[in-house]
Amino acid sequence: MSRPPALSADEAKRKILFILEEGIVEPTWHCKEETMPRRGVEMTDLLHALKTGVIVRDPEWDDDHDNWKYRVEGEDIDGDALTAITVIIDADLTLLIVTVF
């Protein structure tokens, strides 16, 4: 399978904001059961970081899942640094949250 082109940081951020309004934000099991509780991160923290955060690094290709991962760096609602590794799934307007730290 050929690798689709990555979105620019601006395009990815626009899509993330659109999905926050119109689509589904879905943490993976690993994120929901392990990294979010370990960091004390609630969905409100995650959504705030996704809405206000920035993408400053180039996306990373995931060979295991054939998708691009985008790193959103922001803050939780208390102002603490919060980074989310995300996958944009265009087909069903879903933002998959792989992990947070």
- The parent domain of residue 57 ranges over 9-100
- Tell me the HSE value of 52 on the side-chain side, using a 13 A CA sphere: 15
Taking only the tens of pLDDT, the chain with its 101 residues reads 578 999 999 999 999 999 999 999 999 999 999 999 999 999 999 999 999 999 999 999 999 999 999 999 999 999 999 999 999 999 999 999 999 99
The answer to whether position 59 is within a domain reads yes
The answer to whether position 2 is within a domain reads no
Of 97, 101, 92, which is closest to residue 47 (Cα–Cα)?
Answer: 97
The answer to whether position 1 is within a domain reads no
**pLDDT score at 84:** 98
Which CATH number covers residue 39? Answer: 3.30.2310
Give the number of domains in the chain: 1
The answer to whether position 84 is within a domain reads yes
